[in-house]
Structure 1
Amino acid sequence: MAHSVVTIELDNEEFSRAFLQPPHITVRDRRAGLFPFASLKYANDLEPTTISKFFVSAVGGHHLITGSTLVRQYSDPPSLDESHRRPDAAIFRSLSVPRRGRAHWADQRVPVVFFSHVPGADPFSSADSVQLFSKTGRERKKRLEQLSATAELLFAAQHRVFLFMLVVFGRKLRLVRWDRSGVVATPLTDYYKRPTMLCDCLRRLSLLDDSSLGFDTTATRLPSRDPDYLRMDIAAAHHGTDIDHSERHVEEGELEEVPMFRYVRSLFRDSLSGDWPRYRLQVQDGDSLRSYLVGKPIFRGSGTTGRGTRGYVAFDSETGCFVWLKDTWRASAMATEREGDVLRQLNDAGIENVPTLECHGDVHDQATVTDIWWERKHAPSSTSPHSPSSSPSTSSTRAADSTTGRKRKRGHEFSGEDGAPRSMSREGTLATADPLQHYIHYRVVVKEIAMPLKKFKSGKQLVSIVLDCLHAHRHASTNPAILRLHRDVSGDNILIYPRIRPDKDGKGASIVWSGLLIDWELSLPRDSEEVPQLVKGVRLGTRQFISVSLLDNPLQPVRVSDELESFLHVLVYYSVAYVRSNCTSPNSWINNYFFYCGMPNAYTGGLKSIAVEHDGYLSTLVPEGPLLFRSPMDGLLGTLLRSFKAHYDVMEFEAQKARSPSPSSSSSSRSKGSPVDPRAALAARNFLPVTSVEDNPELAEYMARIKARVPLDNIPTDEDRRYASLVADHSFVIDFIDKLIRLNNWPDDDRLPQPPTPPSPSSEQDVEQESEESAPSPSPKRRRKVAPTKETTRAAPSRSQTSMRLTRSRTRAAAVQGSRSERRRA
């Protein structure tokens, strides 16, 4: 949790040259009138509302903005609660301000936010002296959240590439420029003493065109009288030919033409509700452009930086069909292909249960520039970025470099809520020693409009949907033309897609809910040894679903067993959250499973690590005992967990064996037998750069310790090795699940009738990865659990009497964490 963001500060003159140069207009310095802000001499003693009144009056009374108007009264934007109030004022084009009534919030060009004067509460200050829980620290955090919420909303609603914002703190102000990489700001300036600076900035802002103000030129705002605006209303209206999407048999003759599922049109209709603006978006399709009509995003990632993913049910202007349009900012430094290129490979190879690509492409030369300024400010030998060519035009050069395969060296970065690499988040402090990520605007359109996984109707249906995605994953990883691993298997990337499949006799058809494995942008070839970029020591992806092995060893490549474990964690989460079981508190259980002792940023050491590394079964905390679903789900989860426990036992034994060579072995052979590079292991543990032994005494000591003889224990049995082999590839897992689904003892009503709102383990995220459900909250309760009873032999294999002791969950989690630390120090 943080009080500030990394702010690249440019002096006023440098900021103006870089960002405030109106196209085709030569701006001359204009002297300010005599004390235009005389009424604000004592602004440090005033409340924000009073400051805004005097400020707006001064700007309007002295005609400081040509062709624009600073307005205090305009319609309230959505998605801003009381803690994130709307900006007190905003600059509008004069033509957008009606003579009667209020201006529309989506027409604002530059938001202006007013705060009272509180020393140390400037969220853009680099000062580190503010304490986290002090009154000033809380005020600083609150202001940052308000500014971030405003920027986040305008980025989404106005299709912004970047955003200017004027922030007033009593008698001082900053002009701030936000983009998906970070923030550039002017110094905190006393506008009462230096009115010329503010007058010049306001005049330049009023002369900038929409592109120079950060508006996306490929997104055209649709007025209510536009023909495409009316087409959207017609397309959203109820049609009698639409059919219900529930699983059922369809009689012959019911599908006379290509059907439209009701939920698709309903989603599009919901996106047009309220006063959210409508747009016509252009998407690259080879050498041509295609147009799509969109309203409010169905899905919107949180945060002002990072990928900023938005998902739309879009209307194709040419075909008249509904499609799914994904608008995002991709990280150019990542060693991955564009998602559309991967989907095209999957489609060409005939891989089923993956999205069908319509078109995709980068959005012109739109890219971030804050990262460029960061590098120039922190590179001693860099040329001084004083010319205008070092701002927006530079981004096009960087975008071109990324498409030709040129990559830049980067250090560890921070992760935002969607799981993507980002330089700052609404709650996060940025260390100024870390370089910022470079992002490129990107859009991809696919045919399928799917539903979230949480819409499943029964436990059997949940397993069937996951099985479809397992099939897609296996075919993608084994097809000679693909050989690719997904590397971000999570609940948000497994969707439900209803399909119409003909009956075997050909006389009718059935609507079947199938699984759809989406979001392939982090995928890499299976034989690739390249480790994904680390984000502050954490692997990219949805961290809560990542295997325990990858969380423990961030530098190792992804294996099939890691992907299968992610599928297991998806099943565990959605089963406990939505399927009837003997778990009386699903929210608390999920919290303890995915997070260590309820700590939101500790992803190993909780019940998840205990289940796969030590127990091999699921247990409840209240009441104490095995977690049971009273269905084949028990056998499914129990067998998979038993297999993964054996998998971790074998891995630990082999690693221990490699660290403990026989006494007769030579020192050279012992060194060669080490499973990992010691320097890389130390770097993975402490997130340090790899150095030589001579330069690092700690590294030399570490290398000496790993060469010491370590006695071998816990030798895996033949049964352990057999169980471990079951999760080495897809064969057993898919065949086993397929057999279980064919059983007749699955209950039809095991879906909770009124499901709770479970804590979602999705990040950021990510995760690209962003969830509709609330984030988990730490659980302060300490609870106990026991080994399984006799009636759960299928779900939980028996254990020796010496290991069946009652322990508190936090104690066991701490023991796991401690044993892991010991293994790392060994």
Structure 2
Amino acid sequence: MSGKSVIVEYDDFMKWFVPEPLDEEEPTCQLEALDFSQVATKPKANMYKYLELLVNALNHDWLLPQDVAISNANTPDPDEKSKQKVDAGLYRRDDADKVEKHTKWAYMELSIECKTQAVQHDPFDESSASGNHEDASDVRQKFLGQIMSYSMLIFDHQQRVHHLMLLIFDEKARIIRWDRSGLVATKPFNYVQEPELLGRFIWRFARMSPEQRGHDPTATRISTTSAGYHMMTKRAKAPKMDIATREESVEKGKESTTSNVSDATIEKLVVTAGDEIIVPGVVGDHARAAFAKSLRGNSICWRLRADDAQKGTHYLLVGKPHFIAPGLAGRGTKTFVAVDEADPQGPFVYLKDAWRVAHTGIKQEGEILKKLNSDGDDGPVPYVPTLRYHGDVESQETRSQEIWKKQHKDEVEKDCPLKKHRHYRLVVNEVGISLDKFESACELIGVIIDCIQAHGHAYKRKNLIHRDISAGNVLIYPKVTQYEHGNVVVERVGLLADWELAESVGEKEEGPRQPDRTGTWQFMSANALRHPSKKIIVQDDMESLFHLLLYQAIRYLPHICFEVGRFVEKYFDGYEERRGAYYGGEKKMETMKSGALTTTLTEPLRFYLSEPGPPEEPRTETCGPTTSPSSGSESPKSKKPNPGLHPINAVFNDMLQVLQAHYLLYLPNESTVASGAAQERKVFPLAPRRASVLKAFGWDKNKARASDISNPLRPTSPANRTRLEALATKLASHEALSHLMTNRYVNEDWPAEDRVPDKLPGSYGTKTGRKRFAESTWVSSQSKTKCSWRPSGKPPV
């Protein structure tokens, strides 16, 4: 939210956002007669009494005919894990019985936060030298983060276009409007000396329609007594069927809508003549389980409308979100496992609800998926989602950026720090599984290989580059690969999703198309983090896959790093601030230049087959295997024998040498780096990578081992420049990189069980591997969860 606040006059705010009703005259005399003096003069030491006086002053039938003000300060929302609570709020009278003095984010119409001091508790400072109305004091910054998190919870628990908040500090007040672009706030006004200002806002707000208040009219709550809810609960139950009936229907090419087959549940399985298998919208039992989970507890169910220009209007039935992107300003992505109302017994589908950036040249994600799924250019791209339908949600757009432009008429429009966002929904067939649910390192490597292939075919055949590889965009997908003698084989493959930031290769543009850099901070290349205006090329996305692989390994595999929270902070979240701009931290860049992974204590970072014992003193060996990576070895400086090196060390070693070569050769010269976009588009053949991978790639195990990258690089010199160039070329070649990883995937002895419990502290702000936001830092520092380290400082984005 940094730099995304706009301060306006009270009258302008009311004119733009809180209009006077057309069918009722404003009671000026009654508003002027309101008396808030008792509220302002009451000692704030007794906050509950203070809030009681405030809500009593507001609860008049003529002022709030359909709403009621309720103090929520004493009890948090039982349905919210963060246990955050706002001081008070306005609720519909029909929903008052659901509140009972609790903060209820799902039903709150207007949030009200009260503070005791007029200056220290005002989050904005119009006299700030920075010009963005943000004060440098810790108290003010913390308070801004606090109220931002409250508004974010409103967006999380409701279907919102915007949200209004009343902020009271001593005798002053501000009204704030939040949307996915930023915030617009009034200048402070004295509600004791001018009670009509506060009264006018409350009176008008009470007469605003749900849409004017910020509710999305295309989202309808589903009653627990409705037929729709009954159908949803029925679909959430595990299906049963007669296996003989299923085999007979499959033989005849008919559809089977419910099944229990081996260890997987497959829906709508259609087998064509011959050996070819067509499975539209195949899902495993994980989709049903995820859908069932979304209905548990006090989850509110929704009927969401999705409009497609070609396929018409569809309605999706959903429970609570499967995923919610943290933060307020931005795309605000929510995803749901959904049932299409028009096909209630059909397969589960995946709905993505987001606020896409609506700038010139940025395409809808659905249009990109259409191209990826199309039969042209040698057929659909493998390992990407299959588009069902998509479209913008009516004309819903953010408005904060418009107000910024009104307030900065002398500024160039491209300098506006607030993006224009448009509400958008997209539905795909595949319901993926989060990457952090991988069962073994071998599976994790296989998923990465699949995504390299997906990226390569999209780049070479469809002329598209992804530009946002992250933990939320690389998924695991259970896919039918064989059907023999009544047995369905479901294989967990990779799925490269979220193509909304993709662009056409070779597309001409002057600098970035958005005010901020593109991508997810934790997984962006070190070079892109150091050069915000850099155009993302293949090498950057391939480096992002390396960072993603490391992120999962450091959390879920045995290794020697004993301060995972600190490592993640330095490597993935690290940043440097220069004159108000943020740049990537040095840990990631050091790793790329040195070609070596080290812990926070600069020890070589190694992974083991099981948990190693703590070392007595720092190790001195280099990163990466010098012998067979899966062979056991005993360190003389350990308290107990090491359990044996994990084969993933070899993968990291290979990748690091390729990355180091790229950085040694090209990092000093930005023009050389940019020229990497113009590379030969040689299409490599589609090939399965599992049981038939040796045959498909014509693999020779002995030759493959002889060509392993095993020697560490030395500083660049004329003697080894040719070798460096050969290595660096692999980073720009999907085929070479895929073969490099497939070599290790096939030839190493991967353990069947190597996953360990999550090593990242439970209170860490970026536990999900997505963009970090300021409030997560403050919540973490106050968490009751005990751990040896907690994140601190400003967010990198």
TM-score by length of 2: 0.74
Unmatched 5+ stretches in structure 2: 244-259, 270-281, 606-617, 630-644, 677-714, 790-797
Comparing 101-110 with 118-127, which one deviates more in the overlay? 101-110
Change (3 A) 1:532 1:459: farther
**For 1:724 and 1:612, how far apart are their aligned partners in 2?**
12
Q: 2:454 aligns to what?
A: 472
- 1:405-424 to 2 correspondence within 5 Å? 409-411=413-415
TM alignment of 1:281-680, pairs within 5 A: 281-286=304-309, 288-320=312-344, 321-333=347-359, 335-349=361-375, 350-380=380-410, 409-411=413-415, 434-479=416-461, 482-502=462-482, 508-530=487-509, 533=512, 539-594=517-572, 604=584, 606-615=586-595, 620=604, 623-627=619-623, 630-651=645-666
Instruction: Give the distance between the partners of 1:347 and 1:99, measured in 2 at CA.
Output: 46
1:28-177 pair list within 5 angstroms: 28-32=26-30, 34-40=33-39, 42-43=41-42, 47-61=46-60, 63-72=62-71, 76-78=76-78, 85-98=84-97, 106-128=106-128, 137-177=137-177
Q: Deviations over 1:671-717 (max 9, x none)?
A: xxx999xxxxxxxxxxxxxxxxxxxxxxxxxxxxxxxxxxx984353
Q: Is the 8 A contact 1:283 1:444 kept in 2?
A: yes
C-alpha deviation, 1:38, in angstroms: 4.2
**C-alpha distance after superposition, 1:773-824 (max 9, x if no partner):** 999x9x999xxxxxxxxxxxxxxxxxxxxxxxxxxxxxxxxxxxxxxxxxxx
The Cα shift of 1:458 comes to 1.5
Per the TM alignment, residue 449 of structure 1 is displaced from its structure 2 partner at its CA by 1.0
Encode CA deviations 1:122-141: one digit per residue, 9 max, x unaligned: 113334399xxxx9934323
- Structure 2 residue matching 1:122: 3-state secondary structure: coil
Question: d(CA) in 2 for partners of 1:35 and 1:603?
Answer: 51
Q: Deviations over 1:404-426 (max 9, x none)?
A: xxxx9422xxxxxxxxxxxxxxx
- Structure 2 counterpart SS, 1:18: helix
Inter-CA distance 616–158: structure 2 relative to 1 (3 Å threshold): closer
Matched residues in 2 for 1:532 and 1:65: separation? 51
Deviation sequence 1:413-466 (CA, Å, 0-9, x none): xxxxxxxxxxxxxxxxxxxxx532111111111111111111112221111111
Cα distance, 1:631 vs. partner?
Answer: 4.1
Q: Distance in 2 between the 1:379 and 1:734 partners? A: 51
Evaluate the alpha carbon distance shift between residue 85 and residue 548 of structure 1 in structure 2; reply closer, same or farther with a 3 A threshold.
closer
Secondary structure, counterpart of 1:410 in structure 2: helix
Q: Is the 8 A contact 2:554 2:759 kept in 1?
A: no
SS in 2 for 1:441: strand
Q: What SS class does the counterpart of residue 394 from structure 2 fall into? A: strand
Distance (whole Å) between structure 1 residues aligned to residue 39 and residue 596 of structure 2: 68
Letter aligned with residue 473 of structure 2: N
Unaligned ranges ≥5, structure 1: 244-248, 382-407, 412-433, 660-673, 677-711, 782-826
- Specify whether residues 42 and 747 from structure 1 end up closer, same or farther in structure 2 by C-alpha distance, changes over 3 A only: same
Are the structure 2 counterparts of residues 727 and 327 from structure 1 closer, same or farther at C-alpha, using a change threshold of 3 Å? same
Residue of structure 2 in register with 1:12 after alignment: 10
Rounded to whole Å, the distance in 2 between the matches of 1:747 and 1:291 is 45
What is the aligned residue count?
Answer: 663
Alignment of 1:761-776 (within 5 A): 764-765=770-771
**Kept in 2: contact 1:550–1:556 (CA 8 A):** yes
Q: Structure 1 residues 267 and 641, CA, compared in 2 at 3 Å: closer, same or farther?
A: same
Q: CA deviation at 1:313?
A: 1.2
Task: Provide closer, same or farther for how the CA distance between residues 626 and 614 of structure 1 changes in structure 2, counting only shifts above 3 A.
Answer: closer
The C-alpha deviation readout for 1:460-490, integer Å capped at 9, x for no partner, is: 11111111111111110111xx111111122
Opposite residue 179 of structure 2, the aligned amino acid is D
The one-letter code matched in structure 2 to 1:19 is: F
Give the AA of the match of 1:317. Answer: E
Q: Secondary structure at the match of 2:209?
A: coil
Query: Closer, same or farther in 2 for the Cα pair 1:53/1:654, shift >3 Å?
Result: closer
Per the alignment, residue 704 of structure 1 pairs with none
Change (3 A) 1:77 1:231: farther
Q: CA deviation at 1:348?
A: 0.9
* Contact 1:44 1:117 (C-alpha < 8 Å) held by counterparts: no
Which SS does the other structure have where 1:212 is aligned?
A: helix
TM-score (norm 1): 0.72
Aligned to 2:254: none
Compared CA separation, residues 72 and 646, structure 1 to 2 (3 A): closer
CA–CA distance in structure 2, aligned partners of residues 214 and 464 of structure 1:
44
SS at match of 1:748: coil
Alpha-carbon contact 2:389-2:427 (below 8 Å) kept: yes
Contact 1:469–1:516, Cα closer than 8 Å, also in 2:
yes
2:283, 2:479 within 8 Å by CA — same for their partners in 1? no
User: How many angstroms does 1:78 deviate by?
Assistant: 4.8
The separation in 1 between residues aligned to 2:366 and 2:78, in whole angstroms, is 32
Cα deviation, 1:148-175, whole Å, max 9, x if unaligned, reads 1221111122211111111221222222
User: What residue is the counterpart of 2:724 in the other structure?
Assistant: 720
How big is the shift at 1:238?
Answer: 3.4
Contact 1:485 1:526 survives alignment (8 Å): yes
Identify the match of residue 286 of structure 2 among 248, 252, 263. 263
* 2: CA distance, partners of 1:624 / 1:592: 21
C-alpha distance in structure 1 between counterparts of 2:620 and 2:716, whole Å: 30
Name the structure, 1 or 2, with higher relative contact order (CA <8 Å, separation 6+).
1
1:280 alignment counterpart: 303
The structural deviation recorded for 1:749 is 2.1
SS of equivalent to 1:636: helix
2:11 counterpart letter in structure 1:
E
Query: CA shift at 1:497, angstroms?
Result: 0.5
Per-residue deviation, 1:105: 5.0
Q: CA deviation at 1:583?
A: 4.2
Query: Is the alpha carbon distance of 1:234 and 1:78 closer, same or farther for their aligned partners in structure 2, counting shifts above 3 Å?
Result: same
For 1:329 and 1:468, the matched residues in 2 are separated by: 28
Q: 1:730 aligns with which of 728, 731, 734?
A: 734
Shift of 1:114: 1.9
Amino acid at match of 2:285: R
1:56–1:15 Cα change, 3 Å: same
How far apart, CA to CA, are the structure 2 residues paired with 1:374 and 1:598? Answer: 28
Aligned residue for 2:414, secondary structure, equals coil
**Kindly tell me: are residues 579 and 373 of structure 1, through their superposed partners in 2, closer, same or farther at Cα, counting changes over 3 Å?**
same
Which shows bigger deviation, 12-21 or 460-469? 12-21
Asked whether the 8 Å contact 1:594–1:603 carries over to 2, the reply is no
The one-letter amino acid of 2:503's match is: L
Structure 1: how far apart are the matches of 2:267 and 2:540?
45
